[in-house]
């Protein structure tokens, strides 16, 4: 896989932002006259699609809260006296559920018939 230049990476980043090949090429410093063709050429460079995919994953990871952040939020709700009692109870229940505090253990008994058939390997 070839390494992308700083300018090519800038094009990719601009393309992610704008979704427009021509505008991304212009924003990355390529000629306005040939921006459209240049943009399509840039998208075809080996490694460009991988770079764009990785950048999108990184952006998604920054936008989406992980479980640690969610638990911290719920903890803040529980500890904030300005929240209603119902809000605080709900947040504490959500925290408890993530730790499996409300799992019911059910024991089942009974008979099970098991039949095994062997296939011939002729």
Cα separation, 110 vs 70, whole angstroms: 41
Alpha helices in 1-120 (DSSP H): 6-18, 21-27, 35-43, 48-63, 67-79, 85-98
Residue-wise pLDDT for 27-67, tens only, equals: 999 999 998 899 989 989 999 999 999 998 888 777 777 78
What pLDDT is recorded for position 122? Answer: 60
**pTM here?**
0.53
Measured CA to CA, the distance from residue 11 to residue 36 in angstroms comes to 12
- Give yes or no for a contact between 40 and 79, defined as CB atoms under 8 angstroms apart: no
**Residues near 91 by Cβ (< 8 Å), separated by ≥ 6?**
74, 75, 77, 78, 83
């Amino acid at each position: 896989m070839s390494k992308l230049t700083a300018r090519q990476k800038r094009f990719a980043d601009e393309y992610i932002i704008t979704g427009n090949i021509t505008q991304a090429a212009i924003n990355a410093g390529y000629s306005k006259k040939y921006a459209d063709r240049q943009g399509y050429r840039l998208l075809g460079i080996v490694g460009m699609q991988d770079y764009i995919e990785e950048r999108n994953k990184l952006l998604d990871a920054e936008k989406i809260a992980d479980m640690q952040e969610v638990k911290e939020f719920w903890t803040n709700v529980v500890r904030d006296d300005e929240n209603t009692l119902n809000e605080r109870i709900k947040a504490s229940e959500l925290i408890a559920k993530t730790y499996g505090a409300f799992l019911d253990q059910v024991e089942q008994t009974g008979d099970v018939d098991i039949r095994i058939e062997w296939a011939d390997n002729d």
